[in-house]
Chain A
Amino acid sequence: MSERSGVIHDLGYRRYDGPRDGTATIARTLYVTGLRHTYGLGRSGKSKILPFILLAMATLPAAIVVGVVVLTGLGSLPVTYADYTNQVQLVISLFAAAQAPVLFSRDLRHRSIVLYLARPLSSSVFAVTRWLSLTTSLLFFMWVPTFLLFAGALLAGLDKSDQLEGLLKAVVLQLLLAALVAGVTGLISSVSLRRGFAVVGSVVALIVVSGVVTSVQAITNAQDADGIGVAAGLLSPWSIFSGLADAWHAGVVTFTPPGSAWALAYVLVAVVLTALCVLGLVARFRKVGSR
């Protein structure tokens, strides 16, 4: 008995001979932790405030719409799923701008990246995992109101196959959008390590550029020079999203909808731009990690 308690209170070093996870499991742990951190979960109470206020702002209109549709028995939703995302783009952009630094600036600024890269995950797996966390976080942010609307539509007894089609289109477009926005805001945050600069940079890239593009599209449309407006649409994630939604009849109306060839170009640009951002992130993490 005394022997055992002696062992329990032994202050000597104990070796660890239990199981060790492989790279895939470690990456999954990092992914889940990163996803939680974008909502302040597992962090200080203070860091939960902003993401949840923004989520509430992005969801409240959907809740009102659902209430109206269910109570008044409207024959259709006043807004399509894709258009809803387009309408609350300001809030989504703010969420991305504010939370990307959590995943892409902190480790670089405080140099804890070195501690990660001295462990099994490589810089490429690390960067891709971080990007996946932010992409998922953005998808979740858009899907909460989207699926709330869908539930409301079903509750109000609207045609299920119509609703499903609209929902499916929205989900695919949101996937493309989330991947691109996560790449762009991630790269900006990994370069400008001061949180303020990162947020401003992302706001410019998402909100300001999008506003400029929309103005250009409105002007070129009025001047019968739609081609320029369509091409300008390639410059912002939001105009790519709305242009594609318009071309795909997902219920978004733009000044200069792309034709089918241009729509393909929109998709290609979105994919290539996302890939370039992820490659840029890998290079950035590798460089800082070796210092």
Chain B
Amino acid sequence: MAGVTGELTGLLPTNQSVITTAGLTKHYGSVHALTDLTVDVGPGVTGLVGANGAGKSTLIKILLGLLEPTSGSASVLGHDIEHASQEIRRLVGYMPEHDCLPPDVSASDFVVHMARMSGLGAAPARERAADVLRHVGLDEERYRPMGGYSTGMKQRAKLAQALVHDPHLVFLDEPTNGLDPAARTDMLRLVQRIGSDFGIAVLVTSHLLGELEQVSNHVIVLDGGRLLRSSATTDFLRRTGNLLVEVVGTETERDRLGEALAQRGLTCRPRGSMVAVDPPPPELAEAGAVHDVIRDVTAELGLGLMRLEPDHGHLEDVFLEGGAHV
């Protein structure tokens, strides 16, 4: 095992990028799916977040060589996507966002076949398929035709085929799509294990920042095909660590609170019935200082404080904030 680990770290030294893109652009006629994207993805789990149509799937397909970029360049595991795309596809796994399973085949047969299509011999293909299906939690059902699977089971089978050849990197395109909360949690835990225990670098997409920040070491946010932010999850949480304040009343009360807070040097904006307060300026950075200011202000205005809590990071914040910064 030590030899394997050695080889792996030889291939993927922790300081080396797993994916790099430079000015990557993809236009479909007038639709700009990706615009001038320059990012670096390291080992571990990287979340790729964006609303519908942000360009997440387009990026993955370009990296796999399934789509040609309009301009720009990229490399995956040290191989250039234009010249060594076959070498890349030998080393990566891909779980597409949409259905891709033939209904009349069992997961077991299908995953064995997909292992062989990645170059594993008949015996290792069977062995690894059994192993991987167990890891994704498809034990009993794996001999049944996949047409009868629930969405959760299908997602697991799709994940199994992406892992069966022991790739160095997997692209997981919306693995939690269509899952109920419990299955979603299971899937996210599995994604995290792939990155840590299995030692496989992961690029996982979602339109929910909240679910990816639980499992990712790094988060990349795309908006309309442009890079909005790329940073370690810890930075991300600190930077999006806003406060949410809600007072009794209507929008009038909300706006009175917002204006009063702004006069005290806090950056605020309305969100629904609440006021979102940005991280405080340096003079209020001391622990608890902002909370005190907010309590004081509501009391002075005679408003009833209903809620004062840290913001758990919503995508729209990043967009608003990013829009303000860029």
Q: Does B96 contact A (CB under 8 A)?
A: yes
Q: How many positions in chain B have a CB within 8 Å of any CB in the partner chain?
A: 44
Chain A binder among B115-123, B175-183, B301-309: B115-123
The answer to whether A13 and B198 have CB atoms under 8 Å apart is yes
The answer to whether B161 and A16 have CB atoms under 8 Å apart is no
- B163 to A, closest residue via Cβ: A13
In whole angstroms, how far apart are the Cα atoms of A23 and B198 in the complex? 26
The answer to whether B131 and A290 have CB atoms under 8 Å apart is no
Q: Does B103 contact A (CB under 8 A)?
A: yes
| Chain A residues closer than 8 Å to B312, beta-carbon distance | none
In whole angstroms, how far apart are the Cα atoms of A35 and B86 in the complex? 25
Contact with B along A253-291 (1 / 0, CB 8 A): 000000000000000000000000000000000000110
When the two chains form the complex, which single residue of B64, B67, B124 contacts A16, counting CB atoms closer than 8 Å?
B124
| Chain B residues closer than 8 Å to A16, beta-carbon distance | 120, 124, 128, 165-166
- B104 to A, closest residue via Cβ: A44
When the two chains form the complex, which single residue of B86, B121, B128, B135 contacts A19, counting CB atoms closer than 8 Å?
B121
The answer to whether A116 and B8 have CB atoms under 8 Å apart is no
In whole angstroms, how far apart are the Cα atoms of A106 and B147 in the complex? 13
| Chain A residues closer than 8 Å to B109, beta-carbon distance | 42
When the two chains form the complex, which single residue of A44, A112, A122 contacts B86, counting CB atoms closer than 8 Å?
A122
The answer to whether A29 and B117 have CB atoms under 8 Å apart is yes
In whole angstroms, how far apart are the Cα atoms of A115 and B64 in the complex? 11
Q: Does A6 contact B (CB under 8 A)?
A: no
The answer to whether A290 and B66 have CB atoms under 8 Å apart is yes
CB distance from B57 to the nearest CB of A (A): 10
CB distance from A259 to the nearest CB of B (A): 48
Contact with A along B65-87 (1 / 0, CB 8 A): 01100000000000000000010
Given contacts A20-B119, A112-B102, contact A290 B8 (CB under 8 A): no
Question: 9 closest A-B pairs (Cβ-Cβ)?
Answer: A16-B166, A20-B119, A118-B94, A21-B119, A13-B198, A111-B100, A110-B102, A15-B4, A290-B66
Q: Write 16 A-B pairs (CB below 8 A) sorted by A numbering.
A: A13-B199, A15-B4, A16-B165, A16-B166, A20-B118, A21-B120, A22-B119, A26-B116, A110-B103, A111-B96, A112-B102, A118-B94, A119-B89, A119-B90, A119-B114, A121-B117
Partner-A contacts on B (CB < 8 A): 1, 3-4, 7-8, 61, 64, 66-67, 86, 89-90, 92-94, 96, 98-104, 109, 113-114, 116-121, 124, 128, 131, 134-135, 161, 165-166, 193, 197-199
Partner-B contacts on A (CB < 8 A): 11-23, 25-26, 29-30, 33, 42-44, 106-107, 110-112, 114-122, 289-290
